[in-house]
Every structure is written in C-alpha cells, then in structure tokens.
Structure 1
Amino acid sequence: MSLPPIPQLDPATFRWHPSPDDSRAVRRLGLGTEAWVGLRGPNSRGQYDNYLNTTLRIEAADLSLAGLARHLADALVHLRFDHPEVACTTAWSSEYGPPHIIYTPPTCDAEALQWAWAAVTTRSTSQTGLQVAAQIGKQRQIDPAKSLPPVTLVVVADVQNEEALLAAGARVDVLGVFNHIHWDSISARVFVGDLLRRLGEQLGASKAETASSQYVWGSEIANLNVPVLDACKVGVGALGEDYKKTRDEFIAALLKSGSSWGLPVAADTGAPRTIWRTFTVEQSAAIKAAIKTQLGPNYTVTHLGHAAMVLALLRARPLPADAPDTIALASPLPVNGRRYLQGDAAQRYGSCQAGASVEFAPLREWAVDESNADAVRTTLGALAMHVKDGYEYWLRNEFQLAVDQAKGNFLASVLGSYVSSYVNV
C-alpha cells in the first residue's frame, strides 16, 4: 500500500509556548490521539467522551450530597495545583485541524474554587452513576455541539434533595465525565484514585486544617506534563529508517482495518451502548488467576478479552459459508504508552497512548461452532496466543510511542480532510 509523505515529528512543534492571546497562559498543539479525537465536530458531539463511575459508601456523619460535592471541589483545587492538566481548555484555529491545549492559571484561591465548583454537579435520583452516564451520552447527541472541559464530576445519590443528610452506609456514585483530548483510560483512573484519597484526607481533617491551604497560583505551570515527544526514552530527533519503516507499516495496518470484516455501518449516528459487568476484588483476582493458569503466566485479561471480541463479532455478523481467504479482520487498538517514557511516568495525567494492531487472516479459520464448548475454549486459547504475539510484534519497538503519535497526526489529517470535503460539497 502506497502512503502519502508522512511529516517528520518535530518535538518543538508540540511544546508548551506562551499563548498569543493571554500573557498568563501557555498552550501547545495537540499531538497523536489528542489530534484526532480533538477534531472539533466529533469532539463537540461527545463522540469520544469517556465515563468512569466509582461507588462510595458514606460513613461520615452530617454529610449531604451538596456537602460531599463541596469537599470534592476542594480536592479538585488541590489536584489542579499538582496536575494543572485537569483545568486545561481547548481552542481550534481550524474547524478541521487539531486543537491547541491551553492552560491559564487562576489569579487566586477564590477563582480556582469557582472553577472547581463549576466542575462538580449533583443529582438526587434513584438512577445509578452508570445510568446517568447513559443519559448524558444520549443528551450529548441532542444538545447543541459543545466541547467539554477535561473533567466534570457528577455526584449521584438516591436522596430527596442535595441538602438532605446521607444515612450511614448510603451509596453515592461519583461519575467522572472525561474529554478524551485530555485523558486516556489509565490517567482517568489515576486521577480518580488521587481525588478520592484527597477527599478521604479532607473528611478526616479539621476545618482549620482544610482552610489553611494556600497555593501560589502561576507557579503550577511548572507542574504541567512534559510533552510526550520530549519525555520519550528514545531521542525522537534521531530516529532513522527502522522507525520510518515501522511507522509506515503501522499506518498501513490502520488503513487496512477500514475495509476488514466488521459490523454493518449505518448512516445514522446512534447512542453509545455499553453493557457493564461489576466484579468484586475477589472475583477479579480469581479471573486473572484463571487466565494465567489456563493460558500461561504472561497472559492478561486484555489478551483474552480481545480474543473474545473476535468470536463476538463472528456471532453478530457470521461469515458466509463460502467466505474466501481474502476476508480478514484487522484490529488496531490503543495500549498504555507510559512504558516508553523516561523516569517514573506511571502517575502521569493526560493522554499517553501507544498502539498495536492484530490481523486475523483468513478470518474463517477462527470461526467455531459455539455449541461445542471444548472447541470454543480451544479457539479462545489460540486466539489469545495470536493476540499476544500481535501485541508483542509492535510493542517490542522502543520507538512505538513515537510511531503512534505519527499515526495519530496522520489520522487527524485524513479525518479532517474528509469532513472538510464532505461539508463543502
């Protein structure tokens, strides 16, 4: 497959620079995943919104839903100083190009707290946080297009109103609504963990202790993430032909996925549909242990889940009886890119996605009679092995994070050009 020229990655292009519009602010150009999920139209319609729900049991006395929201807002201010990414905004110089990510420090604690209060809302409802997430997702398709801030927190409980005191042991869901420009799934989970730990510290502290915190706003700019290309273990500017060859191969694999076997594509935009399954800590540990016992110590839930996805696709859209060898499934996917960064990057906020791609060809070789449980188990095991080999083929490259940034920029350019040409017809 012949590709158009792919621009070189220049780290300077994606660094933080003073904003031309505000002397207090800094900004940088979106890179990789940020670029393509940050195309203004789809992002403003909620196409890439992420949701993360956490269930709490309240034991603190004299606490209402509104009071809990105020404590969360205080915790959010604290996290903002250490991780300013939570308060970035976005701006577009073109409807069809990547966004600029902007950080503007507040002038004082009061302004920071006002921002945090706007980011935390409450819902007195019998719905769970996940049901609220589904409702928000549907409404995003109906409401006027609007790009969300990095994170909005919705505090959900079955109470008469937000000022009613929560009974001991009451269930409260904290739903995080994340704009994918600013997060990946790893950083969203790290953030929620940090937020809840800070909340616990505040609930256990005296009012004098929580009121005494002061922040030197403006100095937190130094806490912004080092841009991905500058944080890579490998020097991006010195990447050679091996990198270029792998980059082009990876982009070709991405393009191949567009014509591979999959679910029928409809003209209308539907609401997101996710079926959630909840497991206890003990159940989760048992599942992980069973995978390693059955498949091997280096296999994970991800390998088995990807394998199961292939069989789920073949159930939802079976192959014709005379399916030729040319029918294949090309399955690209994001992976945690922090392994390619310098230093301790495990707690890094923001988006840091590398990628892999697995091809199942010919696809008919993986079809199985689901009434035969032994055959299904055997096929799942073989698929998991194939998936693991596919991941390792890409992830062994020390420059794979840079490869994925180039792929993301390329994808943003292609999608932006497509939307632009479609709108201007």
Structure 2
Amino acid sequence: MVPDTIFSSLNPSLYGWQQSPQDLSLWQRRALSNECMWFPRPKDLHELFICTSIALNSPIPRPTLDPAAAQAWQILRFQVPELALTAHAACSKDDAGAGDPAVYMQYQTPQSQVEVDAWIDRTSHFEFGQGMQAFKDLRAKILLKKYKHDSDKTFLFLRAQNQNNSNDLVDNVQIMLYADHQVVDGTGIKILLGKYLSLLASALSKPAEKLQVGIKWHESYKNLSPPWIQHMNEDQVTSGPEYEELVAHIRDIILEKLKTNPGLPLSPTTKPATTQETHFITLSPAQTSTILQAVKRVLGPSSNITHLCHAAIVLALLRASPPAVQPSETQTIYSPCWLNGRRYLNPTPSCPSPTTNYIPICLSFAPLIFTNIDELVLTSTATKCDTQEKLLKVCRMSTEQYTNIRERTSMLPECVNLFEDIGRMMLLENSNMQSRQSMTEPSSQKNHKSQDSSQTAEPFFLSDGLTEQYISHAYPSSPSQTRPILTVQTVQFAAHAEQNLYIPPSPLSPALLSKISKISI
C-alpha cells in the first residue's frame, strides 16, 4: 500500500546537486520521480537503443574517421556528464533512527585525462566492414562488448562501411547508442544522438593534428543538468487542494485502474527467448504524408497519426482480448501514456532550450480513457467497412483524450511522490526477497512458474516517432553551411521489452501499426 506521504507538498530544494564533504570529486543528488522506479528493476530492463545510418558527403580514410569519432565521444562526455552517472541506494534515517531506503544519483569528477581515456575505451567500439548490419546484430555486439563493464550507463558503437572494394575509404557509417533508462528517457537519448552527430561533423571538418584539445575535466561537474523539478514553469502545482486531487487521481489510475485492462496474449514458447526481438516498419515521406492528410481530412485538423496509432492499439487489444459478454465494471480501458515533460520547463543558463536540450529523464503520466469498450470490439468476421467505422470512432476518442492532456497546465509534479514511494517499496521488496531466498524454492523454479503464469502483457507507445527536432537531416545543421559533411538516412529507436507479444491476424493495415511499440510494463 502506498502511504499518504504522496500528498506531501514538494520541496524542489531537496533535489539539488551537492558536493560530498568526504570526497570533493563526488557530486550527488536525490533521485527524482521516475529515476526511483528504475533503480530496483533488473538491469536488462533498463536498456534503450537508438541507431542511425549516415552517409558521408565525401569518402574519407578510416584513419581519419576513428580519431574523430573518439574525439566527439570525449567532448560529449564533458558536455553531458550524465553519460557517466551512477546510482546507489542508502538508508535515510530520521531522528528516531528509523528510515527507508533512498536512491541517489552520483557523478565522480575525472581526475585526469588517463581516467577519461579508460572510460572511452570501456564505453565505445569502432569496427570496419562491408554492408549494413541489422539492428539486432548491432545491439548484440553492444551487449557483448559492455558485458564486463555493465555498471557504465552508456555505450557507443560505430561501424564504418568501406566504399565499394576499397580497404580503407569509408562512405557510410552506422552508429548505435546504448543508454540506461536510469539516466535518460526516449527523448533524452535522441537528444544525445543529435549532439554526438553534431560533434562528429565538427571533428571531421578539422585536420587530424587539431583534434586534440585540452579539457578541464575537474570542472565537468559544472555541466550537470539541474533536476527538472528546480526549473518547472509557474503553472506546475506542487501543493494545495488541486495538487492533492491530481495526485489521488493518478494514484487510483496506476494502482487500481490499470489492473483491470485486458492484455495481449503472449506468444507461446517452450523456453524463454534468449534475444530481444524488435521489428521496424518504415514509412516513406510520401506514405506518411498520405496517411496524415487522410487523418485530417476524415477526422479533422486536430487529429494526427499518433492518435490513429493509439486507436489501432486499442482495437488490436480488444480483438485479442474482448471484454466479457455480461456488462461489468471493467468496460473501460485506461491506456497508459508516458509524456515528455520538457515543455513544462523554464529555460536556464545551462539549458536555454529545455524542449530540445534537456537530457535526463523528464516524464509524466496520464491515461487515455476509452469507455464503452464493448461497442468497439471487432469480431472475427468484421469487414473492411466495420474496421474503418470502429477505427474512426476510437480515433475520435483518442484525439479527445490527447487534447484534454495537452490543455492541462500542470503535468509534472503530481507523479513525483507516488513514483518515489513505489520505488522505495520495490527496494524493500527486493531486500525482503533476498533475505527469504534461502527459505524458498530455487530461482530457476520461480522463474519458470512466473513465465507459465504470465499470459498477457499491456502495450503502450514507446515513442511518437518524431525525431526532427532532436536529430537534424544533415550536419553541420547551420543554415550558413552550404555543403553538409554527413547526412542522416535512418533513425531507429527501441527499448527492452519484458515479454514477446503476439497480436492475432487483423484487418488493420500494418502501416497503421508502424509506430506501435509492444512493451510490457
């Protein structure tokens, strides 16, 4: 049970970065909101990956590319210290000696260039070969390379492709970034990739002898991002009756209502999958434009592809798990929607444009509520017209829900205490499980039982697929630059899914489902 402390007023000053009196090179702050829920979860569930393929405007020798790539990674490490954050749990005790575990984010200031070079060696790998490699192959290589240094929160993998039969010239490059969800969210990793590509283009434009630059690593802590709670805009409510009402609403949704949602059947397997499966459907600009124009023509100017895709999720969910024939109290779906909260932040000197530059986790939560779901179910004999009719109906509901969320002015504070209390309860449960481990059945048997009993999982959007405001089409991206050094061809983003999901055959077009990420929470 979540305690009533979730209604306590928020004190942003508690979350500021503080220098450790015992170790002056160590900086730490209290973990904030979602950060607390990620810490107790298994490490492999933290994984975020973003991959891009880029074309170089002019082929370059590999000996030119590798040092430029390493230089860009090093500068990014200085500009974004969050790349090297760690997290730990400690017990915060009151005057009576009682206390609960609390999570802290930590940053250790490098003491020398040698220390930074060792970090770069651990967290990056460059290779050279022929042809493009699949997303899953690049991901597997990252996980293999970082296996021995799993505490690092980031990793850069760069694969250079040789030009035709040349053994040295490079004309195309694949870049994959790994990041731990403890330190960034989906928007944050997109911003990271955009910053890295900008730095890479800058490094490639310089002669090799000018790549080495002196960096004052002992001052890198100055680039730490202030926690978002310290620069929210004035509309964010942190106390009072309105705040408590919002907190109670979110608590009821997350702890009660989500449990009543139907789930998508899991794919039946005889043994756990050893690799994560991710499938991408890429729409061309022409296809995207056609769909968007059709959505706005049929549904109105306020509807968009995201609303359509969310409607498709709901129809697929109801097709797979239709509600009971008899009316009940569960004839409503509370579809989880994790929201990018950066538009609720004020600019700061270190982050003048938080919507496009703030990297740490900044998420809020709001449900999309779909009522009378028994009227939305597609039967096995549904025609194309039936499907279109239901899809339009659900899409109108989706647009209305997204509009309601967009019109709310306070979206960030109401989740903070709840998420932090959930994180503390997860920590306590993990501790209790460890203490009981010797008295219970072997973990392999428990895992087997858990897999057997888990029949469904809930889908939600991982991303809206929009990347242009974080990742430019070409770099350098300055309008004064007449000829780009590199051009971005594709961007793919994925996170770890806890289970493989199966959606039965449906008359819905695969194109409408192209941006749906099937992730279990």
TM band (smaller chain): 0.7 to 0.9
**Cα distance, 1:421 vs. partner?**
4.1
Per the alignment, residue 53 of structure 1 pairs with: 51
Structure 1 158/75 Cα, relative in aligned 2: closer, same or farther at 3 Å? closer
Between Structure 1 and Structure 2, which shows a larger proportion of helix residues?
1
The answer to whether the 8 A contact 2:265-2:320 is kept is no
Structure 1 219/3 Cα, relative in aligned 2: closer, same or farther at 3 Å? closer
Letter in 2 for 1:165: D
What are structure 1's unaligned runs of at least 5 residues? none
SS of the aligned residue for 1:93 comes to: strand
Map residues 88-127 of structure 1 onto 2, 5 A cutoff: 88-93=85-90, 99-122=103-126
**Cα distance, 1:173 vs. partner?**
1.7
Per the alignment, residue 413 of structure 2 pairs with: 402
Q: Deviations over 1:107-149 (max 9, x none)?
A: 2444334322322113567672512255369979xx79x8542
**Cα distance, 1:390 vs. partner?**
2.6
Per the alignment, residue 186 of structure 1 pairs with: 187
The answer to whether the 8 A contact 2:236-2:411 is kept is no
Per the alignment, residue 358 of structure 1 pairs with: 368
Output the CA distance in 1 between the equivalents of 2:61 and 2:287: 32
Per the alignment, residue 340 of structure 1 pairs with: 344
The answer to whether the 8 A contact 1:357-1:391 is kept is no
The answer to whether the 8 A contact 1:58-1:166 is kept is no
Map residues 170-209 of structure 1 onto 2, 5 A cutoff: 170=172, 172-209=173-210
Instruction: Provide the alpha-carbon RMSD of the alignment.
Output: 3.3
The answer to whether the 8 A contact 2:237-2:413 is kept is no
Per the alignment, residue 6 of structure 1 pairs with: 5
SS of the aligned residue for 1:277 comes to: coil
Output the CA distance in 2 between the equivalents of 1:209 and 1:90: 36
Per the alignment, residue 233 of structure 2 pairs with: 233
Per the alignment, residue 76 of structure 1 pairs with: 73
**Cα distance, 1:249 vs. partner?**
0.4
Output the CA distance in 2 between the equivalents of 1:227 and 1:208: 38
The answer to whether the 8 A contact 1:328-1:360 is kept is yes
Map residues 313-328 of structure 1 onto 2, 5 A cutoff: 313-322=317-326, 324=328, 326-328=330-332
The alignment of Structure 1 onto Structure 2 pairs a total of residues equal to: 411
Output the CA distance in 2 between the equivalents of 1:217 and 1:74: 14
Output the CA distance in 2 between the equivalents of 1:393 and 1:77: 43
Per the alignment, residue 165 of structure 1 pairs with: 168
**Cα distance, 1:222 vs. partner?**
2.1
Map residues 146-157 of structure 1 onto 2, 5 A cutoff: 147-156=150-159
The answer to whether the 8 A contact 2:136-2:278 is kept is no
Instruction: Using CA pairs under 8 Å that are at least 6 residues apart, name the structure with larger relative contact order, 1 or 2.
Output: 2
Q: Deviations over 1:166-199 (max 9, x none)?
A: 454x4x3211111001111111111111111211
Structure 1 263/283 Cα, relative in aligned 2: closer, same or farther at 3 Å? closer
Per the alignment, residue 135 of structure 2 pairs with: 130
**Cα distance, 1:229 vs. partner?**
1.1
The answer to whether the 8 A contact 2:85-2:153 is kept is yes
Output the CA distance in 2 between the equivalents of 1:329 and 1:269: 29
**Cα distance, 1:10 vs. partner?**
2.5
Letter in 1 for 2:48: N
Output the CA distance in 2 between the equivalents of 1:12 and 1:227: 10
The answer to whether the 8 A contact 1:262-1:317 is kept is yes
**Cα distance, 1:204 vs. partner?**
1.6
Output the CA distance in 2 between the equivalents of 1:418 and 1:269: 24
The answer to whether the 8 A contact 1:128-1:157 is kept is no
Letter in 2 for 1:198: L
What are structure 2's unaligned runs of at least 5 residues? 92-99, 348-352, 437-521
SS of the aligned residue for 2:157 comes to: strand
Letter in 2 for 1:74: Q
Per the alignment, residue 216 of structure 1 pairs with: 216
Alignment partner of 2:282 out of 278, 284, 287:
278
Letter in 1 for 2:374: R
2:302 is the alignment partner of 1:303 = no
Structure 1 360/195 Cα, relative in aligned 2: closer, same or farther at 3 Å? same
Alignment partner of 1:312 out of 298, 316, 339:
316
Per the alignment, residue 31 of structure 1 pairs with: 32
2:378 is the alignment partner of 1:374 = no
Q: Which moved more, 1:389-398 or 1:295-304?
A: 389-398
Letter in 2 for 1:154: F
The answer to whether the 8 A contact 1:353-1:404 is kept is no
The answer to whether the 8 A contact 1:90-1:101 is kept is yes
Letter in 1 for 2:195: D
Output the CA distance in 1 between the equivalents of 2:17 and 2:371: 43
Output the CA distance in 2 between the equivalents of 1:13 and 1:264: 43
Letter in 2 for 1:251: R
Output the CA distance in 2 between the equivalents of 1:340 and 1:241: 21
Q: Which moved more, 1:335-344 or 1:54-63?
A: 54-63
Output the CA distance in 1 between the equivalents of 2:30 and 2:167: 45
What TM-score do the two structures reach when normalised by structure 1? 0.84
The answer to whether the 8 A contact 2:84-2:153 is kept is yes
Letter in 1 for 2:364: A
Q: Deviations over 1:379-401 (max 9, x none)?
A: 22222222233334444333311
Output the CA distance in 2 between the equivalents of 1:220 and 1:183: 18
Letter in 1 for 2:70: A
2:334 is the alignment partner of 1:330 = yes
Letter in 1 for 2:140: Q
Structure 1 237/386 Cα, relative in aligned 2: closer, same or farther at 3 Å? closer
Alignment partner of 2:402 out of 387, 391, 407:
391
**Cα distance, 1:17 vs. partner?**
1.1
The answer to whether the 8 A contact 1:60-1:203 is kept is no
Output the CA distance in 1 between the equivalents of 2:209 and 2:160: 28
Letter in 1 for 2:354: A
**Cα distance, 1:74 vs. partner?**
1.0
The answer to whether the 8 A contact 1:109-1:214 is kept is no
The answer to whether the 8 A contact 1:336-1:354 is kept is yes
Structure 1 345/269 Cα, relative in aligned 2: closer, same or farther at 3 Å? farther
